[in-house]
Chains A and B, each alone.
Chain A
Amino acid sequence: MSAAAEAAASPPGVLRAPLVVEFPFTRSLGPVQSAFLTGLRERVVLGVRTTAGQVMVPPVEYDPVTAEEIRELVQVATTGTVTTWAWNDHPRPNQPLDSPFAWALVRLDGADTALLHALDAPGPDAVRTGMRVRIRWAAQRTGAITDIACFEPHEGPADPQGAPHDGAFAEPVTGIVAEARLDYTYSPGRAQTAYINALSERRTVGERCPSCHKVYVPPRGACPTCGVATTDRVEVGPAGTVTTYCVVNIKARNLDIEVPYVYAHIALDGADLALHGRIGGIPYDQVRMGLRVEPVWTEGGRYPDHYRPTGEPDADYDAYKELI
């Protein structure tokens, strides 16, 4: 997992594009989690007492051994002891500190279990298991684990601790939004690369299964019936037949097309699988199964903008019924 390995180059001629996946989950909190995270907002750290009498920090809703509901809250200190640590010379995106820091599991005074967070220290020589630390609070606190900015070294007495707490705060936090974004580099693979490259020349190229001879458009590299690689490239179309369609009445976000419009399955001539596309150049209520259509390209377009009628007579139902 070295930086050098992460920067390893990919072979030339391979298509690639950035792919960003974002998933901001909204999650509700149980009563114990709510008390804990609201407490952090108020600079109070709460644990929960397990059935066996241990104080768990961070606390959970159910006993980790017996699975019983546990609700008895206890206030613990903001000071504690490092139980294990790991020096992180190269902080990664979104981690608690931008400059080198130690990851640490810290058992807060009054707790029997440890909490994971960052420890701000000048260097690895300043960190050891057993060292004393305390919480550095974030300036802006919202009721999240990041309300703890990090831990910092601490020489001094432990905070008071061990008092029961009813977990009641004004305006309790009842949920969190867990933001997440991951950045990928997408490469389409052998079959789809050939398909995309042909599209850039305004040609539609599918692949034929060597076993059942079906022509797949767009090709995905394998015949799902035979479980073998599709091999022979076959140019199909450009014209095709509408095999089925629907009338779209709801405007899609980020799509500048007036509704209603028709979205159709189109079997290009020579293909054994219909692809889908928008039908234009004809009133939406005159589109029909069997309509013969051809692609319309726009300047600089990477794929057909839409399909329009060719003016040929409609195809016989028998000619496309297997493709519906």
Chain B
Amino acid sequence: MARTPRYAREVAVVAFAQSDHRRRTDELSEVEMVMPVLHQVLARTGLKAGEIGFTCSGSSDYLAGRAFSFTMTLDGVGAWPPISESHVEMDGAWALYEAWVKIQTGEADTALVYAYGKSSPGPVRDVLTRQLDPYYLAPLWPDSVALAALQAQALIDAGETDEPALAAIGARSRASARTGNPHAQLTGAVPQGDYQVRPLRTGDCPPIGDGAAAVVLAAGDTARRLCERPAWITGIDHRIEAHALGLRDLTDSPSTRIAAEHAGLFEAPVDTAELHAPFSSQEVVLRKALGLDEGVAVNRSGGALAANPVMAAGLIRIGEAAARIHRRESDRAVAHATSGPCLQQNLVAVLEGDRA
């Protein structure tokens, strides 16, 4: 194995599971939605909940409007008597980052990371305005599609894409989901539809839905014992753009590029990329920032344009990339997760499988 040891400990994704992603899950509470996914991911490793060293989750109470909902979903882990546990009010990719740090410190050898989002009970486009600058942006209620559309228009003005190219990204994503992702919410041919906020049409926007995902991380020989071909995290980093939208060049993502550099992405080619681009236009930005050429398989899972459980969709990118390594469909993959408006914050992970 020719990997440069970048960190104190080798850590790998050894299992991944996700729910079917659906427009509504009214018949299930959050813990009822999450629990089967937790059981599946543990079953894939043979570990019992009590054998996990650290548990970390990502979710947002604002989505379903339920205060401290993450404490309820902890019931699904078997968290009593108290376990070593933490939560981030962010996408689960950042929960994975915290768990990875915990393992690096030597305080745990294994970690369960899970994330979930139930967007169906509320107006998610409006809900997401509450994460914006409270002085200058939030009082205007600029919704998530509107902000993405501003970025898309900037890309079109810069000559980096056009509406047919954006439509092709959505169509390709959902065609991939049809063959490669039984859990996706939208698959196959979907009408490109009307403008939601011009220049973005329905087909450029992610579906709204509910879902959950979980991964298990393990260090060194534990990973080798739990998984036939661990997806080693050979690099991981996350960076954030300046806060003010009007200060940024919306056609680029320097934070993604810097995170990728620190994760060692550019040291060797990748064959697979899982990009967290909820809007078609954001894939254009990410491909440029990560330097992906046509030879790289991008979002074979369909990405967030096929299923976008908010707060889980980023973790799912890491899980999907790892699963391709587990299945020997990839040797070196990049996974990306984003948070905030117009790719505000970005996490990049490089995953590698041992070559025989």
Report which of A129, A144, A182 forms a contact with B153, defined as CB distance below 8 A. A129
Interface centre among A29, A56, A87, A221 (most CB of B within 10 A): A221
| Contacting pair A89 B78 (CB below 8 A) | no
| Contacting pair A86 B65 (CB below 8 A) | no
Interface size class of A (residues with CB under 8 A): 35 or more
Residues of B within 8 A of A117 (CB): 140
| Contacting pair B153 A85 (CB below 8 A) | yes
* Segment at the interface with B among A6-14, A252-260, A293-301: A6-14
* Segment at the interface with B among A91-99, A232-240, A312-320: A91-99
What is the size, in residues, of chain B's interface with A at 8 Å between Cβ atoms? 74
Residues of A within 8 A of B247 (CB): 56, 64, 113-114
CA A276 – CA B141 in complex, angstroms?
40
Contact with B along A114-158 (1 / 0, CB 8 A): 111110000010000100000000000000111000000000000
Instruction: Give A152-207 interface residues, CB cut-off 8 Å to B.
Output: 176, 178, 180, 182-193
* Segment at the interface with B among A222-230, A241-249, A279-287: A222-230
**A222 with B208: in contact, given A1-B202, A93-B141, A103-B146 (CB under 8 Å)?**
no
| Contacting pair A224 B80 (CB below 8 A) | yes
Q: How many whole Å from A93's CB to the nearest CB in chain B?
A: 7
**A86 with B152: in contact, given A1-B207, A187-B27 (CB under 8 Å)?**
yes
Q: Which residues of chain B have a CB within 8 Å of any CB of chain A?
A: 23-24, 26-32, 35, 38-39, 49, 62, 64-66, 72, 74-81, 120-123, 125-127, 130, 134-143, 145-147, 149-154, 157, 193-200, 202, 205-208, 242-247, 250
Report which of B65, B200, B208 forms a contact with A186, defined as CB distance below 8 A. B65
Report which of B27, B125, B137, B154 forms a contact with A92, defined as CB distance below 8 A. B125
**A116 with B207: in contact, given A56-B244, A220-B29 (CB under 8 Å)?**
no
CA A187 – CA B118 in complex, angstroms?
11
CA A58 – CA B242 in complex, angstroms?
13
Q: A292: CB under 8 A from chain B?
A: no
* Segment at the interface with B among A19-27, A262-270, A303-311: A19-27
Q: How many whole Å from A112's CB to the nearest CB in chain B?
A: 9
| Contacting pair B65 A182 (CB below 8 A) | yes
Given A89-B198, A115-B246, 6 more A-B residue pairs with CB atoms under 8 Å apart are: A29-B135, A65-B242, A85-B150, A184-B65, A222-B32, A227-B78
| Contacting pair A87 B32 (CB below 8 A) | no
Report which of A19, A146, A229 forms a contact with B139, defined as CB distance below 8 A. A146
User: Which chain B residue lies CB-closest to A150?
Assistant: B140
Main secondary structure of the interface of A (DSSP, over half): mixed
User: Which chain B residue lies CB-closest to A21?
Assistant: B65
Residues of A within 8 A of B75 (CB): 220-224, 227
Query: Can you list 10 A-B contacts (CB < 8 A)?
Result: A84-B157, A85-B153, A86-B153, A87-B195, A95-B140, A182-B65, A184-B65, A185-B121, A189-B28, A191-B32
Residues of A within 8 A of B243 (CB): 60, 64
CA A287 – CA B62 in complex, angstroms?
40
Q: How many whole Å from A53's CB to the nearest CB in chain B?
A: 14
| Contacting pair A27 B134 (CB below 8 A) | yes
Residues of A within 8 A of B197 (CB): 86-89, 103
| Contacting pair B153 A84 (CB below 8 A) | yes
| Contacting pair B31 A222 (CB below 8 A) | yes
Q: How many whole Å from A274's CB to the nearest CB in chain B?
A: 15
**A1 with B78: in contact, given A84-B250, A129-B153 (CB under 8 Å)?**
no
Q: How many whole Å from B22's CB to the nearest CB in chain A?
A: 10
| Contacting pair B78 A224 (CB below 8 A) | yes
Q: How many whole Å from A188's CB to the nearest CB in chain B?
A: 6
Which 10 A-B pairs have CB atoms at the shortest separation, nearest pair first?
A227-B78, A189-B29, A114-B246, A86-B149, A87-B198, A184-B65, A222-B75, A187-B26, A224-B75, A84-B154
Residues of A within 8 A of B121 (CB): 19, 184-187
Report which of A103, A113, A189, A221 forms a contact with B150, defined as CB distance below 8 A. A103
| Contacting pair B134 A178 (CB below 8 A) | yes
| Contacting pair B246 A105 (CB below 8 A) | yes
User: Which chain A residue lies CB-closest to B209?
Assistant: A5
